[in-house]
Structure 1
Amino acid sequence: MIAGLMKRRIDPLWEHAASPLIGIGMTPNQVTAGGLVLVALSCAAYVYHQSSLAFGLCLALAFTFDALDGAVARRRHMSTKAGGYFDAMADRYQELAVFAAIGWVADLWAIAMIAFAGGILTSYAKARTAIEIPIENQAWPDFFERMERLVFICVLLVADGLAIAMGAASPWFLTGGFALYALLANATALQRINRAFAMLKRADAKKP
């Protein structure tokens, strides 16, 4: 929702932040791959050290790096359909790695599966609609899109880590927050599915 409604304001900020990457000659696909590697390394480190605080901070850095691929593509005039597809696939693998790491460390496999399903279905609802009818990519301002999901999970992990550091840890903090994430992700998937049905029904009604 934030990315869709504030795209014109956010994009110039990303493009400015991408200047160092452009300066060293990185391509958009290299930035995408780099973001995926950073997320994977962060997840592997979390499985080893099991620090929610460190994991949340590392993910925030990795996700920020990953968000710069589109800015690099625009600045270097290297936007391609193949690059967009690669970015979308890398995003799904990033989410899978994060939820697998949390599921492993916190033994929250059931919630992790439901949370991952919500993100996948949110993405697939739009992609499947595009197979049936032409759609505008930015006309889907749903509540809990990817940017909101990334911010939520990073804040949740950092908050959990700070609570542990201050001696106020609760086994229900991460569980409850992750369950809320799963609920919001699936609610957004249903919101997007409902919009897709309405669009497809209108398209069907126009047929002779």
Structure 2
Amino acid sequence: MIDGLIKDKIDPLWEAMATPLVKAGWSPNQVTFAGLVLVVLVSLGYVWHGSPLIYGLALGVAFAFDALDGAVARRRDMRSLSGGYFDAVVDRYQELAVLGTLAYVHDVWILALLAFSGSVLTSYAKARAAIEMPVSNENWPDFFERMERVIYLCLVLVLAGLLPAYKDGIVVAGLAGFALLSHATALQRARRAWGMLKVEDQSRK
């Protein structure tokens, strides 16, 4: 939702930030993969140092780097269907790395599973509809999309780092909120997709 509202304003900023990568000759897929590596590395770092504040800030940087792949693709005129697919798959692995790390460090496996399943189902609800009929990638103004989930996780970790006495409780509550919001968004998307497919069914009669 946020991305859709501010896309026209934020895209020029991403493209400006991507200048060093463009000059260095990086491809969009290389940037995407580098973003995954950064997320995995800072997640392994959290297992070692245990500071939610450092993890939250480091994830913010890693996810920002990951967002530059689209800017590089536009700047180098290298947009492609395969690149968009690769980026979507990597996004899921990034979320798996982060939620798996939180599950391991804070022993919240069930909450992490609920959070990740909600994230995957949010993506699947649109992807499955696209198998049945052509759909626009722009008309899905859902509440808890990828950008919202990233910002939410980073804020939860920063708050946990600023209030160390309540660290575990904040992470647990944060993951519970993540799970609730992600599944609500998955159902929101499924409801929209169902309606679109019903209209398509009627048009084919």
Whether these two folds match at TM > 0.5 is yes
3-state SS of the aligned residue for 1:6?
A: helix
Provide the secondary structure at the position in 1 that maps to 2:138.
Answer: coil
Task: Give, as a single letter, the amino acid of the residue that structure 1 aligns with 2:134.
Answer: P
Task: Please name the residue that 2:147 is paired with.
Answer: 147
Deviations 1:68-104 (A, max 9, x none): 0000000000011111111111000000000000000
Q: Give ranges in structure 1 of 5+ residues lacking alignment.
A: none
Question: After superposition, where does 1:56-95 map in structure 2 within 5 Å?
Answer: 56-95=56-95
CA distance in 2 between partners of 1:182 and 1:144 (Å): 10
Q: Does structure 1 conserve the Cα–Cα contact (< 8 Å) formed by 2:161 and 2:167?
A: no
Q: TM-score, normalised by structure 1?
A: 0.96
Q: Which SS does the other structure have where 1:79 is aligned? A: coil
* Residue of structure 2 in register with 1:196 after alignment: 193
Structure 1 partner of 2:130: 130
CA RMSD, 1 decimal: 0.9
Contact 2:160 2:168 in 1 (8 A): no
Paired residues for 1:158-177 under 5 Å? 158-164=158-164, 168-177=165-174
SS of residue in 1 equivalent to 2:162: helix
Separation in 2 of the partners of 1:192 and 1:143? Answer: 10
Give the gaps of 5 or more residues in structure 2.
none
Compute the displacement of 1:5 (Å). 2.4
Give the Cα–Cα distance (whole angstroms) in 2 for the partners of residues 170 and 21 of structure 1. Answer: 37
Residue identity over aligned pairs, in percent, reads 57
The equivalent position to 1:179 in structure 2, one of 165, 176, 179, is 176
C-alpha contact (below 8 Å) 2:15/2:68 kept by paired residues: yes
Corresponding position: 1:43 with 2:40: no
Letter in 2 for 1:171: D
Tell me which residue corresponds to 2:18: 18
C-alpha separation in 2, matches of 1:170 and 1:104: 15
Aligned counterparts of 2:3 and 2:167: Cα–Cα separation in 1: 33
What are the superposed Cα offsets for residues 112-137 of structure 1, whole Å, 9 maximum, x if unpaired? 00000111000011111001011110
Task: List structure 1 runs of 4+ shifted beyond 2 angstroms.
Answer: 168-171
Q: Is the 8 A contact 2:160 2:170 kept in 1?
A: yes
Alpha-carbon contact 2:43-2:98 (below 8 Å) kept? yes
Aligned residues: 205
Q: Distance in 1 between matches of 2:72 and 2:168?
A: 41
Q: Quick one: distance in 2 between partners of 1:59 and 1:171?
A: 18
TM-score normalised by structure 2 residue count = 0.97
